[in-house]
Chains A and B, each alone.
Chain A
Amino acid sequence: MINGSILNLKLFRLSLICAFFLIAGALPKSAFSQESTSEKKEKKFDPKDVILEHIGDSHSWPVLGKTTLPLPVILYTDKGLEVFSSAHIKEEEVNGEPTGKIYQGTHYAYTAEKDKIKVVDSNGHIDEAATKKVWDFSITRNVMSMFMAIAILLLVFLSISSSYKKREGKAPKGLQSFLEPLIVFVRDDIAIPNMGIKYARFMPLLLTVFFFILINNLLGMIPFFPGGYNLTGNIAVTAVLSVIILFVVNLNGNKHYWKHIFVPNPWWLFPIMIPVEIVSIFSKPIALMIRLFANITAGHIVILSLISLIFIFKTLLVSPVSVGFVVFMDCIELLVAFLQAYIFTLLSSLFIGMAIEEHH
């Protein structure tokens, strides 16, 4: 009885989706065509802009349609700090070109051009020389989403931490039993094989890196507010993570590690090996940075390109193909979300392990 009703529900949903596409395909001339023709007059659809807008950072957070969540702009200028809402410099379409409103701050007048804050001189023109002196520390979409991710991480892990205290010595339960295998995985399959008995000191770092990357990869896959951002596919974020790994590796490197770099085995290799080893110190974290950035960004670009096909062909008939491919890509991206978190953590622990390894 119950099985039958679930089956019916599935069939019903499937047929509903098919029906949606059929109706949408059958009525291209009524609602959609008008809109597309009017858009055509205004501006040709350019998937590059849409994709780069999504991949990059922004001073506002799109919620639904044209509604956006304004975010605080924090600028450090040569004259002092400036804080104002990004709603004041919102870019709006004027004659088909996005033009930012001008906001008169305490020290300068500002506007936005392609989501970059620019200083405006008294004539209303963008002053690039003055803009270079302004440091943008705004709470952008990425920063805001990072706050959200951190809040989720803190909420989740502090709550399971307390359930470990409450259920001491008992079997894990609920969220705890979902996350414990991941924690144990990081410990037993990432940290211990690469770092040996000295793994315990680096566990907090590895776990934080792993779950930070994982949650941001997963939240980035949500296509709408409050997801729909690209934090782990942002070079600044991966750079910071890599620099942290660079510092951890080199500050914990023991004398064997440094000896390996500065005293290669046959003495005549000195001129070749020392520069190579010094480059390798930096190339390892750079590889980490590029790998995470490129993987996540590429995934987002592929998914957005597939979605853009619908708008490029201006027909909903292509949407089943697009949606099918996007679902397929989403599955791959889900795998990549875990895989990249795993690889970043694995390689970090490998580099740390190489630096702290004892030779006998």
Chain B
Amino acid sequence: MDLVTPNIGLVFWTTLCFAVLLWLLGKFAWKPILAAINEREKSIESALSMAEAAKEEMARLTNENEELLKQARIERDNILREAKKVKDQIISEAKEAANTEGARMIEQARLEINNQKALAIADVKNQVATLSIEIAEKILRKQFEDQRKQDQLVADLLKEVKLK
């Protein structure tokens, strides 16, 4: 059959043409085209992955910020609580100190009062003694104005001494 008998001329030209076409396209078309497509795909892929990384970084930063904020809040609360505690403590301490101071001062005042009372009593005693003595002196002086009475007394006294 004519239709299925390969013609030698056409076989020759096809081989030649195809070889030349393969070489030319391979060298000047497919190599640069495939390289360019690969290059572009790589760059798109890297851009996408970079975007993804940036998104992740963003999320991480946001998280971090939130964490920081939370921590700051906790810190603030802690500080406030502590401050309140310190305030309360100071107040109670001050109260206590005031109480003890007051008690001490009352005690001291009492002591002072007692001292003063004792002193005053001693003074009164002295005064009384002095007055007594003065009175006694005056009485004695009045009694011993006459000599004979004095002698009488001496003699009495001496008598007492001899008895002893």
Q: Hey, which bits of chain A sit against chain B, CB under 8 A?
A: 52, 55-57, 74, 135-140, 142-143, 146-147, 150, 153-154, 157-158, 160-161, 164-165, 168-169, 180, 183-184, 187, 200, 203-205, 207-208, 211-212, 234-237, 239-241, 244, 293, 297
Q: B21 contacts A142, CB within 8 Å?
A: no
- Grouping DSSP codes into helix (H, G, I), strand (E, B) and loop, the B interface class, with mixed when no group exceeds half, is helix
Q: Which of B10-18, B95-103, B139-147 contacts A (4 or more CB under 8 A)?
A: B10-18
Counting CB contacts under 8 A, is B3 at the interface? yes
Q: A153 contacts B21, CB within 8 Å?
A: yes
Q: B11 contacts A150, CB within 8 Å?
A: no
Give residues 68-108 of B contacting A (CB, 8 Å). Answer: none
* Complexed CA–CA distance, A165 and B36 (Å): 8
Q: Which of B24-32, B52-60, B127-135 contacts A (4 or more CB under 8 A)?
A: B24-32
- The contact of B5 among A147, A180, A235, A240, by CB within 8 Å, is A235
Task: Give B12's nearest chain A residue, CB to CB.
Answer: A137
Q: A146 contacts B30, CB within 8 Å?
A: no
Task: Give B19's nearest chain A residue, CB to CB.
Answer: A244
Q: Which residues of B contact A137 (CB under 8 A)?
A: 8-9, 12-13
Q: Which residues of A contact B2 (CB under 8 A)?
A: 52, 56
* Complexed CA–CA distance, A207 and B37 (Å): 14
Task: Give B26's nearest chain A residue, CB to CB.
Answer: A204
Contact flags (1/0) for B111-133 with A, using CB distance below 8 Å?
A: 00000000000000000000000
* Complexed CA–CA distance, A341 and B77 (Å): 76
Q: Which residues of A contact B6 (CB under 8 A)?
A: 235-236, 239
Task: Give B41's nearest chain A residue, CB to CB.
Answer: A184
Q: Which residues of A contact B15 (CB under 8 A)?
A: 240
Q: B40 contacts A234, CB within 8 Å?
A: no
* Complexed CA–CA distance, A153 and B4 (Å): 27
Q: How far is the CB of A218 from chain B (nearest CB, A)?
A: 16
Given contacts A57-B7, A57-B10, A169-B40, 10 further A-B contacts (CB under 8 A): A140-B9, A154-B25, A158-B24, A161-B33, A169-B39, A183-B33, A234-B7, A234-B10, A237-B14, A240-B11
Q: B36 contacts A168, CB within 8 Å?
A: yes
* Complexed CA–CA distance, A57 and B7 (Å): 9
Chain B CB count within 10 A is highest, among A52, A160, A204, for A204
Counting CB contacts under 8 A, is B34 at the interface? yes
* Complexed CA–CA distance, A57 and B24 (Å): 27
Q: How far is the CB of A98 from chain B (nearest CB, A)?
A: 16
Q: B9 contacts A143, CB within 8 Å?
A: yes
Counting CB contacts under 8 A, is B51 at the interface? no
Q: B29 contacts A161, CB within 8 Å?
A: yes
Q: How far is the CB of B94 from chain A (nearest CB, A)?
A: 77
* Complexed CA–CA distance, A343 and B31 (Å): 23
- The contact of A146 among B4, B17, B31, B33, by CB within 8 Å, is B17
Tell me whether A236 and B18 are in contact in the complex, defined as CB-CB below 8 angstroms, given that A183-B33, A203-B34, A204-B30 are known contacts: no
Tell me whether A241 and B9 are in contact in the complex, defined as CB-CB below 8 angstroms, given that A157-B29, A160-B33, A161-B32 are known contacts: no
Q: Which residues of A contact B30 (CB under 8 A)?
A: 157, 203-204, 207-208
Q: Which residues of A contact B43 (CB under 8 A)?
A: 169
* Complexed CA–CA distance, A251 and B8 (Å): 24
Q: Which residues of A contact B13 (CB under 8 A)?
A: 137, 139, 143, 146
Q: A208 contacts B14, CB within 8 Å?
A: no
* Complexed CA–CA distance, A241 and B20 (Å): 13
Chain B CB count within 10 A is highest, among A136, A146, A187, A236, for A236
Task: Give B11's nearest chain A residue, CB to CB.
Answer: A236
Q: How far is the CB of A17 from chain B (nearest CB, A)?
A: 35
Q: A212 contacts B5, CB within 8 Å?
A: no
Q: Which 8 A-B pairs have the closest CB atoms?
A: A204-B26, A236-B6, A157-B29, A164-B36, A236-B10, A240-B14, A204-B30, A143-B13
Q: How far is the CB of B131 from chain A (nearest CB, A)?
A: 129
Tell me whether A135 and B11 are in contact in the complex, defined as CB-CB below 8 angstroms, given that A169-B40, A240-B18 are known contacts: no
Q: Which residues of A contact B109 (CB under 8 A)?
A: none
Q: Which residues of B contact A235 (CB under 8 A)?
A: 3-6
Task: Give B35's nearest chain A residue, CB to CB.
Answer: A164
Q: Which residues of B contact A237 (CB under 8 A)?
A: 10, 14
Q: Which residues of B contact A180 (CB under 8 A)?
A: 37
Task: Give B5's nearest chain A residue, CB to CB.
Answer: A235
Q: How far is the CB of B119 from chain A (nearest CB, A)?
A: 112
